[in-house]
Homo-oligomer: A and B are copies of this chain.
Amino acid sequence: MASRRGVLGGLLAAGALAGGDARALAAERGTGDLGIVVERASGSVQVVETTGRTSLGRIAGLGDLSHASAVFSRDGRHAFVFGRDGGLSKLDLLRGVVAKRVVQAGNSIGGAISDDGRLVAVGNYEPGGVRVFDTEALAPVADIPAAYGPGGTARSKVVGLADLPGRGFAFSLFDAGEIWIAAVPPDGPPEVRRFRDAGRQPYDGFVTPDGRHYIAGLFGEDGLARIDLWRPELGVRRVLQGYGRGEEPLPVFKMPHLRGWAVAGELVFLPAIGRHELLAVDRRDWTERGRVPTHGQPVFAVARPDGRQVWVNFAHPRNDVVQVVDTQSLQVAHAFTLGRGVMHLEFTPRGEQVWISVRDSNRVEVFDTRSLARLDSLPAESPSGIFLTARAQRIGF
């Protein structure tokens, strides 16, 4: 028995500092409070920590990071960054290096990691489909072309890729109007279930926090599509049919994102396409329960982890504001004007802080979500997505 003398006995005394603007990245530290901030214009990310709210360093050379997103290994040490140019980069957050990088497609749009942490899947526009890699070496494991049409010769863009329990993934085919559910067993080919006629032009999708419902937003129809993954035999059902998409001929400046996890108590909050409002949907029967008028066209609507607030950012040209919606009263309780280009926001897992990227002011702003006081403001080069390692511990992130 090692007793209190210690198993490693203080082999490592101090961390080390090196390189450029790196400040304090040390190898011996916990990873539960780490995250990355995407610096879109420079193809880099900053590694940050949310306990002292500091930047630990920068990792560059990641290619085109417009619309980039990330998932994390189950131990929180590695980030997998999905670039728009098809690049898939595995970052070692402890050492601050690119551990591995492959360019796996010509144009891609996000990805997911399997529940066992062994597989990373990427949704591709070109060539349309999903490619699956092992998380250790980024070696190819499976290729799922999004084939459709006569003879199955066409390839659809893939959007809304989300993980499911059981080494599973759900995703939508924009051009084909289909939703596919795939499981990738440890041995043998992927098992794919196709749902045809899911709806016209699904543009994004998400899985509810319990992994049960997959929801796809439809650009070509006035509604959303839903599959109950516990009862897939029921097929695709419509949600909020006729909510008003296109009712007013507002131009759509930016497609909203559905990955905000705005599941708050009994309600799910969804951005309405082309409208200045959020839709509040009953989680039990998927009917509309109310609408919240907002400052602009919502892009991300993200629930604070306790579900008592939903924080919202907006499309150009109204993208300088963040609004805080009270989920009990369905009213906007507060608004911040933060500068042009509020791109993304991410809560710490217990919700006491929110990190907000403001592109044109080159800042990441950190707020206390109860007092609404600004806790810190960190410099960053045109920051966009913010992703914390706690995502590794959630279904469907």
Contact = CB atoms under 8 A, between A and B. Distances in A.
Interface of A: 1-12, 15-22, 25-34, 42, 44, 47, 49-51, 56-61, 72-78, 94-98, 115-117, 165-166, 210-212, 230, 265-266, 284, 305-308, 328, 348-352, 370, 389-390, 392-395
B57 A7 contact: yes
B33 A32 contact: no
B74 A32 contact: yes
Given A2-B58, A8-B95, 8 more contacts: A3-B61, A7-B59, A8-B96, A12-B27, A28-B28, A165-B352, A306-B395, A351-B395
A392 B389 CA distance: 12
Given A57-B2, A60-B1, A166 B18 contact: no
A116 B5 CA distance: 30
Contact of A350 (B49, B57, B394): B394
A7 B2 contact: no
Contacts of A307: 210, 212
Q: Which 7 A-B pairs have the closest CB atoms?
A: A7-B96, A30-B75, A30-B77, A32-B76, A2-B19, A6-B97, A349-B393
Contacts of A78: 30
Given A29-B75, A165-B350, A97 B57 contact: no
A75 B94 contact: no
B18 A2 contact: yes
A16 B12 CA distance: 10
Nearest to A392: B32
In this complex, which of A34, A77, A352, A394 has the most chain B Cβ atoms within 10 angstroms of its Cβ?
A: A352
Contact of A165 (B212, B370, B395): B370
Contacts of A51: 74-75, 117
A8 B27 contact: yes
Contact of A97 (B1, B7, B211, B265): B7
Contacts of A74: 32-33, 50-51, 348, 350
A230 to B, nearest CB: 7
Nearest to A328: B230
A97 B9 CA distance: 8
Given A8-B18, A60-B2, A31 B75 contact: yes
A8 B15 CA distance: 8
In this complex, which of A17, A57, A210 has the most chain B Cβ atoms within 10 angstroms of its Cβ?
A: A210
A10 B96 CA distance: 10
A105 to B, nearest CB: 21
Contacts of A165: 306, 350-352, 370
Contact of A94 (B30, B49, B352): B30
A8 B257 CA distance: 36
A41 to B, nearest CB: 13
Given A351-B395, A352-B166, A393-B349, A96 B6 contact: yes
B27 A16 contact: no
A6 B115 contact: no
A12 B15 CA distance: 10
Contact of A4 (B22, B57, B98, B350): B98
Contact of A265 (B32, B210, B393): B210
Contacts of A18: 2, 6-9
